[in-house]
Structure formats: structure tokens, C-alpha cells
Structure 1
């Protein structure tokens, strides 16, 4: 079971990296063509900037899921100092469980949001053939992926990523004169 969950987590990470890369690559190409067209031909791509924003939102939300899956999520690092070392494993499990529950709550809210957009028949204002709910599916996906990961991490310590303590690491680097 642990092996299968590990494989699922690995696939999820790969899938999100590829999709985020396609979003940011598409964004870069689209904006390059738009700016190049305006500079060379005095005519850009009318919808490029708004489509680029959609790609940036998708790429950003996928990046949030990836960061969360690699232990880089925002969290209060003070808890690391308050709990005794012997309770560290329990603390990490509780931390991941609470993050997972938080993500489940936002999964529910985002699902309701997307469902309402679908039921109302909202259409994307720029790309008029595209239903708005399709664009918004990134929200429930991200919270689902994050909830899935963190709930697994809460119960299976061997699958947890190493915690990244950005604030502590940055402070140590400053105290060491820029040498981490």
C-alpha cells in the first residue's frame, strides 16, 4: 500500500511539473509573439494578455501544489521550537493533518464555486467559446492534490518530504555572513 501511494505521489508530481511547464512555456511563447507582433508589425494578438493571465494562474496554482508536496508550504516554524524532539513525529503528523483538513475545506468551497459557474452557464469573457467553469477547475484540483498529499503525509511518515525551514535557514545564512 505504501509503495502504491508513493508511486501515485511521484506521478502526481511529474504530471503537475509537466502541466505547469506547459503553462509557463505557453505563456512565454504567447507573450513573445504578442510583443513581437506589436513591435514588428504594429499589431499584436488581441487576446494574448488575458490568455497569458489564465496560464499564469494555472501555472501558479500547480506550483503551489508542487511546493506543498515538497515540504515548502507556509507554516509557523515556531512550533518546531516549542515541541520536544521526542514529539517531533507526532507534531509533523498533526501539522500535515491540519493542512490536509484546511485543503479539504477549500476543496469543498472551490467545488461549489466551479459548480455555480457551470450551472449559471458563465462563459469566459475573452475566449467566448470557453465555459468559465473549465478555467476554474484548477482551484478544486489544487486543493484536492494538496489535501491528498498532506493526509498521506500525516499518517505515513516515510512518505513525508523533508521540511524546508525557509525562515530558519535564511536567518542562519545571515548570521553566518551569507554562508549557509
Structure 2
């Protein structure tokens, strides 16, 4: 599981770097064309919105991989180490079930828009919409890896190893 999660992480980072670079170039060129050449690029805003959707879902998945979400822990801090561990397991299971439901619904949604095209770029809409199930699939893999690792660890001397 760890190898799969690491491979997905590498893929996400690579995709995010390419997409952010592309969005930066597209927006910069669009600004230059609009203000200096007086010839706006009609598809630039649509492309940047689609790229931002992809970057958002990839970044959200990476945030789950690194456990970098904001959290309020005043209640959790009152539990023992064993209690915190069980609470973390339960929370991972709840999140995995929720993501599983969202994945099912997002794939249904994706397959329902196979014949639509975007208004400016005329690309199939499944390409930008695929950001949702792809990002959720990657997030599911990362969370499942965390849960499996949590079940594998043994509590020793107050620390999990």
C-alpha cells in the first residue's frame, strides 16, 4: 500500500507542477495579449478554470497524504494515546466511506457528460470533470494507506511504531 501511495504522490506532484506552470503561462500570455496587443485570447479563462479544478483536487489529495488539514484538537487531546489511536481509526473509516460514496457519484456524473463539450475550447467536458473522481481516488488511496499503517503499528511505550 505504501508503494502505491508513494507512486500516486509522485504522479500528483508531477501533474500539479505541469498544470501550475501551464496556468501561469496561459494567464501571463492572456494578459499580454489583452493589454498590449489588444487581442484577447478567448479560451484562456476557461482553460485556467479547468486547470485550477485539477490542481485543487490533486492538492487536496496531497494534503490528505501529508495530513496537513487544519484541525481543532481540544477534545481529542483529552484522550489517552490508545483512545487517540482508536479515534483516528474511526475517523479514517468514516472519511473513506464518505469518499467512497462521492467516488461512486462522481463516476456516474462523469459518464453522464461524455457528449458535452466546453464552450470556448470545444474539448470534451469529461476532461475537466475527471478531476473530481481522479482526485478522490488518489485521496482514497492515501487515506487507506494511513489506515492500514495505523492497524499495523503496535503501541510501545506510549509511542506508535
Q: Greater RCO between the two (CA within 8 Å, min separation 6)?
A: 2
33, 39, 43: which one pairs with 2:35?
A: 39
Which structure shows the higher helix fraction?
A: 1
Partner residue in 2 for 1:71: 67
Question: Residue 159 of structure 1: CA displacement?
Answer: 8.7
Deviation string for 1:109-150 (max 9, x for gaps)?
1111101112xx11112211x111122111111111111221
Is contact 2:5–2:145 with CA below 8 Å preserved after alignment? no
TM-score by length of 1: 0.77
Partner residue in 2 for 1:122: 116
Partner residue in 1 for 2:25: 29
CA change 1:100–1:45 in 2 (3 A) is: same
CA change 1:159–1:71 in 2 (3 A) is: farther
Is contact 2:65–2:139 with CA below 8 Å preserved after alignment? yes
CA change 1:55–1:145 in 2 (3 A) is: same
- How many residues are aligned here? 153
Aligned equivalents of 1:159, 1:132: Cα separation in 2:
41
Is contact 2:2–2:145 with CA below 8 Å preserved after alignment? no
Question: Residue 47 of structure 1: CA displacement?
Answer: 0.8
Alignment pair present for 1:148 and 2:141: yes
Aligned CA-pair RMSD: 2.0
Matches of residues 4-15 of structure 1 in structure 2 within 5 Å?
A: 5-15=1-11
Aligned equivalents of 1:6, 1:158: Cα separation in 2:
13
Aligned equivalents of 2:75, 2:133: Cα separation in 1:
29
Aligned equivalents of 2:124, 2:119: Cα separation in 1:
9
TM-score by length of 2: 0.85
Aligned equivalents of 1:98, 1:155: Cα separation in 2:
14
Question: Residue 75 of structure 1: CA displacement?
Answer: 4.9
